[in-house]
């Protein structure tokens, strides 16, 4: 009879370690975990080992997918949209209502955060596909994670949603700490695997307009009715001796998304690609000293085509590479972990056609215009209004970082009736950032009128035929003999640099005294950009009420400070845009004349005395074990202060302010079995949980822009929202990351004699709320007259359409066929949304949430989807 251990991830914020079962037959189930079942419960932490990760129903296998049943996490309303089924980028997540770009992503203890422009997606309502206008082209788009690494590479992932230890810094949300697998020195081994899905294996849930547009793949509809995804993994483990070894791994996740450009009469195939190359080596210097070296290269790239624009291909890139050396030394007095690392991150977007963009008029406005392609047609006549071509240049941002860090973990120290486990450490990051537009962008068009210095309208020509009738064959910025451009917005080339050094120091102690476990600590952080010294106290406790660990009361108080945003340091140095023209030109051969700065020029200014955003956390809960069950309750209270939000000064300059505030309360309750149940030949494990979250915030967006339509200069003083009257849009409840109720059941049904593992994940969420803002002249005529009070004037009326809550069921089936000795063939089937539930959600095509009368901000999540995979292990 063989024993092993199993660790199950709790639905709340705790880690429970549970002894597994014995097998009566000759075949033994794979070990799901090797964590000691005597480890104490740690509030605020959850751990997934490689075996747990492999059992999760997933799509592309990124880290954030594994957070689906974490009660502290909210996904963006645009996640898993039916209209964007071909995308592979990680979803955006918020812990306890904190900004989605203020989480800490770590790989082997080193930051995987994108500091350059992590909030460019604005909660999922903007992507690199929106960078088709030069007014968006100032800082290259990024994402919260620099490296898109597939979770199959990790041996464990630890998530802290509360009571984060003192060693973690520069976040206000949650901590996701992933550790890459080490080389195995006992034997040669490896694996190769392949997973795939496609549109024919997918059911799309769509609204009425999307259903109409979905019958084709027209590029301008911004839908993805056709796609194919492939994921390939190769891992090779090679022991060099009994003290050293190498691990090589390659992962490739790609998606192909065909779309038809009507105006070009051509199919183009958009692509998404994320790759990871890993080489990790280990060497045992002595019995108590191990060296690990890692080379990681993880780029990702998206290929887009500007809708119906000739030569409109552009590419968005991200990711980078890292080299780090890690030392683990076990002395008689404790353990020292040391790291030396260099990391390079890149964000880039570039057009193949360069930096000249032309807006030509079509044959609707200029009868002699050639119409071999067309960008915009007249809906009634079918003639071409405009035909566009070219590109809007290149933007790139680079970050080079050297990191030195050490962690000291001392052995148990006995002082009187107490035991102490002291730990402390330090780290320094030396970073150099650069953002640039290497070539000026020339965005051109033809106009018939313009306004002079006295704001009077001057007519150049009565129509385009007269304007262009003398176009020369040797003209400039023209179609020879047809037409020329006479107005230009000139976006100058620039290069902005910023050097930022970050210093971090922490101290923590685990104190054991009778029934009490106390964890006081402090984190001290300073960076050379914001020049703020941030002192973050951390404190957690555990009370073993009955002295047998069957009933524990847990809690804590903690403060978390956010990291800096290099975006802010870089964009303040961007020069203004210039208007250029040649209005007096009759042939298209004249020289361009430089004008004044345009009104839509970037106006970010350096702010004085900017403070570091922070979040205060209070939490309390309990866990109680009885009759082979454990029930857990937890309450987490988060209060955000000094969050970065944009603010416009009286001089018209935008600055970053510290005006953002938020308040979130999260209540969770869960139940799970402590030991597996065996019913005949079936082995069962379960965990179920529910959470309620209430959130308030005074800002709905990121550090650049809001998700609520700007009505700052409105003539109406009030907003009506869900039966209440508000004086400011900032007082409205949050529109995104705000599903109050959620519940789930995860059931594992294994049949060892069949070598079959079957995971069921059932999720329930409250229904989506859709808002459209209407302008009403008389409050009494609004949809919420009871909220008017004594106000009889005009209001902004947010009208609600509420959808029913829905349950979704996901399956992961894994069948393993032993081949020879350690060799085995594995077949995986993921069936996502098995019941094909119709789950309403936000539309990623919406410019705003809760804005405009004509906008329809409601879409639906993907319906049933199949993923099929195979793997061979040796």
Q: Is 215 helix (H, G, I), strand (E, B) or coil?
A: coil
Distance from C-alpha of 796 to C-alpha of 189, rounded to nearest angstrom: 65
Q: 3-class DSSP state for residue 96?
A: coil
Residue 345 bridge partners (DSSP): 320, 399
As a whole number of angstroms, the distance between CA 301 and CA 274 comes to: 6
The CA distances from residue 42 to 46, 416, 549, 586, in Å, are 8, 25, 12, 77
pLDDT at 372: 92
The pLDDT value given to residue 714: 66
* Per-residue confidence (pLDDT) for residue 23, from 0 to 100: 36
CB 832 within 8 A of CB 57: yes
| pLDDT of amino acid 830 | 98
pLDDT of residue 355: 97
All residue ranges of the chain with pLDDT < 70 are 1-43, 606-608, 709-714, 847, 850-856
Residues 6+ apart with CB under 8 A from 338: 326, 327, 329, 405, 406
Question: Which pLDDT score is estimated for 14?
Answer: 33
Residue among 220, 213, 103, 217 at smallest CA distance from 168: 103
Output the DSSP codes for 524-581: EEEETTT--EEEEEEEEEEEETTSSSSEEEEEEEEEEEPPP-HHHHHHTTPPPPEEEE
Provide long-range contacts, Cβ within 8 A and 24+ apart, for 541-546.
Answer: 541/516, 541/517, 542/40, 542/41, 542/42, 542/43, 542/516, 542/517, 543/515, 543/516, 543/517, 544/515, 544/516, 544/517, 545/515
Closest among 799, 804, 800 to 839, alpha carbons compared: 804
Residue 474 CA to residue 486 CA, distance in Å, equals 15
Angle at 563 between CA 559 and CA 564, to 5 degrees: 140
Is 302:316 a contact under the CB 8 Å cutoff? yes
- Read off φ and ψ for residue 282, nearest 5 degrees: -130, 145
What is 758-772 written as a DSSP string? EEEEEEEEPPPEEEE
CA distance 252 to 299: 10
Name beta bridge partners: 679: 682
Domain boundaries in the chain?
5-355+391-446+485-604+611-700+735-768+803-873
CA distance 697 to 295: 41
C-alpha neighbours within 13 Å on the C-beta side of residue 468: 29
3-state DSSP of 217-279: CEHHHCCCCCCEEEEEEEEEEEECCCCEEEEEEEEEEEEEEEEEEHHHCEEEEEEEEEEEEEE
Q: Where on the phi/psi map is residue 497: left (φ > 0), alpha (ψ -120 to 50), or beta?
A: beta
Q: Work out the burial of residue 868: count CB atoms within 10 Å of its CB; fewer than 13 is exposed, 13-18 middle, 19 or more buried.
A: middle
* CA-based nearest residue to 18, from 685, 757, 760, 751: 685
Tell which residue, 77, 108, 104, 109, has the closest CA to residue 91: 77
Q: Which CATH superfamily is domain 5-355+391-446+485-604+611-700+735-768+803-873 in?
A: TonB-dependent receptor, beta-barrel domain (2.40.170.20)
* Contacts for 200 with CB less than 8 Å, ≥ 6 apart: none
Looking at residue 7, its pLDDT comes to 30
């Amino acid at each position: 009879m063989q024993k092993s251990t199993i660790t199950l991830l709790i639905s709340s914020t705790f880690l429970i370690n549970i002894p597994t079962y014995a097998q009566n037959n000759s075949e033994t189930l794979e070990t799901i975990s090797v964590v000691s079942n005597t480890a104490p419960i740690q509030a605020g932490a959850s751990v997934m080992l490689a075996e747990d990760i492999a059992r999760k129903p997933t799509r592309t296998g990124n880290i954030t997918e594994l957070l689906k049943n974490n009660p502290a996490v909210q996904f963006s309303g645009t996640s898993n949209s039916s209209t964007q089924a071909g995308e592979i980028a990680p979803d955006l997540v918020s812990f306890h209502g904190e900004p989605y770009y203020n989480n800490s992503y770590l790989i082997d203890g080193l930051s995987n955060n994108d500091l350059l422009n992590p909030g460019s997606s604005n909660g999922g309502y903007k992507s690199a596909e929106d960078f088709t206008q030069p007014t968006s082209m100032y800082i290259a788009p990024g994402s919260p994670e620099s490296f898109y690494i597939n979770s199959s590479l990790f041996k464990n992932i630890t998530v802290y949603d509360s009571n984060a230890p003192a060693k973690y810094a520069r976040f206000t949300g949650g901590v996701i700490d992933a550790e890459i697998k080490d080389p195995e020195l006992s034997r040669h081994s490896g694996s190769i695997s392949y997973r795939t899905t496609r549109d024919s294996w997918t059911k799309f849930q769509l609204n009425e307009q999307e259903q109409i547009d979905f019958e084709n793949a027209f590029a301008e509809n911004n839908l993805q009715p056709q796609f194919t995804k492939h994921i390939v993994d190769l891992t090779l483990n090679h022991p060099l001796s009994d003290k050293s070894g190498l691990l090589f791994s390659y992962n490739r996740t790609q998606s192909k998304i065909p779309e038809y450009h009507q105006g070009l009469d051509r199919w183009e195939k958009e692509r998404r690609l994320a790759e990871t190359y890993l080489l990790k080596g280990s060497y045992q210097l002595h019995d108590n000293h191990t060296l690990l070296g890692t080379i990681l290269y993880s780029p990702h790239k998206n290929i887009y085509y500007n809708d119906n624009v000739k030569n409109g291909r552009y590419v968005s890139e991200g990711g980078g590479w890292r080299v780090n050396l890690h030392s683990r030394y076990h002395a008689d007095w404790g353990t020292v972990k040391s790291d030396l690392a260099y990391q390079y991150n890149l964000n880039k977007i570039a057009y193949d056609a360069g930096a000249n963009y032309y807006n030509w008029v079509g044959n609707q406005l200029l009868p002699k215009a050639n119409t071999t392609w067309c960008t915009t047609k007249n809906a009634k006549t079918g003639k071409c209004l405009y035909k566009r071509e070219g590109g809007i240049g290149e933007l790139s941002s680079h970050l080079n970082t050297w990191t030195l860090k050490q962690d000291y973990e001392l052995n148990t120290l006995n002082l009187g009736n107490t035991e102490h486990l002291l730990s402390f450490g330090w780290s320094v990051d030396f970073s150099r950032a650069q953002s640039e537009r290497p070539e000026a962008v020339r965005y051109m068009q033809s106009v018939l009128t313009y306004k002079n210095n006295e704001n009077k309208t001057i007519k150049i020509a009565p129509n385009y035929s007269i304007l262009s009738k003398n176009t020369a064959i040797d003209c400039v910025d023209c179609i020879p003999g047809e037409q020329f451009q006479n107005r230009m917005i000139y976006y100058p080339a620039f290069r902005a640099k910023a050097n930022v050094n970050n210093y971090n120091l922490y101290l923590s102690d685990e104190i054991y005294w009778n029934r009490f476990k106390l964890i006081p600590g402090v984190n001290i952080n300073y960076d050379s950009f914001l020049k703020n010294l941030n002192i973050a106290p951390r404190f957690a406790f555990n009370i073993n009420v009955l002295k047998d660990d069957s009933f524990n009361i847990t809690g804590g108080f903690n403060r978390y400070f956010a990291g800096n945003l290099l975006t802010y340091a870089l964009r303040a140095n961007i020069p203004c845009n210039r208007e250029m023209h040649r209005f007096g030109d009759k042939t298209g051969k004249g020289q361009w004349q430089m004008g004044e700065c345009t009104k839509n020029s970037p106006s970010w200014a350096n702010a004085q005395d900017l403070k570091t955003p922070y979040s205060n956390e209070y939490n309390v809960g309990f866990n109680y074990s009885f009759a082979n069950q454990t029930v857990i309750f937890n309450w987490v209270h988060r209060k955000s202060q000094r969050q970065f939000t944009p603010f416009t000064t009286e001089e018209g300059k935008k600055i970053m302010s510290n005006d953002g505030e938020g308040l979130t309360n999260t209540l969770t309750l869960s139940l799970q079995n402590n030991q597996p149940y065996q019913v005949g030949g079936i082995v069962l494990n379960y965990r179920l949980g529910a959470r309620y979250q209430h959130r308030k915030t005074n800002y709905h967006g990121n550090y650049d822009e809001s998700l609520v339509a700007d009505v700052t200069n409105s003539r109406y003083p009030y907003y009506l929202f869900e039966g209440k009257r508000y004086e400011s849009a900032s007082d409205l409840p949050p529109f995104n990351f705000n599903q109050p109720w959620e519940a789930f059941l995860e059931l594992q049904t294994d049949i060892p004699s069949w070598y079959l593992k079957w995971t069921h994940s059932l999720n329930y969420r409250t229904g989506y709320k859709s808002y459209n803002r209407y302008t009403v002249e008389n409050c009494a005529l609004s949809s919420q007259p009871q909220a008017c009070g004594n106000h009889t004037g005009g209001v902004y009326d947010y009208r609600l359409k509420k959808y029913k809550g829905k349950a979704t069921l996901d399956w992961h089936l894994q069948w393993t066929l032993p081949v020879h000795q350690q060799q085995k063939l594995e077949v995986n089937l993921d069936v996502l949304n098995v019941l094909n539930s119709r789950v309403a959600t936000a539309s990623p095509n919406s410019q705003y949430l809760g804005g405009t009368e004509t906008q329809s901000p409601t879409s639906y999540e993907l319906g049933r989807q199949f993923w099929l995979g195979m793997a061979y292990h040796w």
